[in-house]
Amino acid sequence: MAINKLFLGSGGMLLLTYCTAPSLESTEGEQATPLTGTISRSEVRIKEKWRPIVKITSKKPQKTPPFRISGKEWKIHWKNKAAGELILILYDAHNPDYSEILANVSTPDEDVIYLTGKGQYLLEVVGKQPYEVLVEELR
C-alpha cells in the first residue's frame, strides 16, 4: 500500500493524504487469492417467512385456545393502545403449572418478544382497554 502526501507549505499549498490499495491483479510471483465464504443466517432467512398463528384484537380479558409451535423461532407482537393495565401470560399447554409473564404495562406501548422452543402453548391476555396481540412463527 502506498501513502502519498502533499503538505501545506509557505507558498499556500494544500495538505492532502491518501492511500492507494495494492492492485488485485497478480504481480510477478504472486497469486491473487480468490474470495470464499459461507451463507450467513441473514441470507438464509430471505426464504423464510413469518406465519401468523394467533391474532387478538379486543378490549376484554381473553385466553387463546392452545396453539402449536413447530418452527425454530417465534414471536409475540403486542400493542397496548390506551392507558390501562395489559398483562400477557404464556402457559405451556401440557404443563399448566408453568407460566411466564411476558408483559405487564399500564401505558400505551408496544413490543415484540422473540422466543424459541417447539411445543403447545396458550396465551392469557388481561386488559380492559383496546389492545392487539399477534403470535407468529418463523417457517
The 10 Å CB-count burial string (b at 16+, else e) for 38-77 is eeeeeeeeeeeeeeebeebeeeeeeebeebebebebbebb
At the topology level of CATH, where does 46-138 sit? Jelly Rolls (2.60.120)
When pLDDT is averaged across residues 112-123 and rounded to a whole number, the result is 95
- What residues does each domain of the chain span? 46-138
pLDDT reported for residue 17: 42
d(CA 139, CA 69) in angstroms, rounded, equals 10
Residues 1-13: tens digit of each pLDDT: 444 444 444 444 4
* pTM confidence score: 0.65
For the chain, give the percent of residues with pLDDT over 70.
66
Residues 9-61: tens digit of each pLDDT: 444 444 444 444 444 444 555 565 555 555 455 555 566 799 999 999 999 99
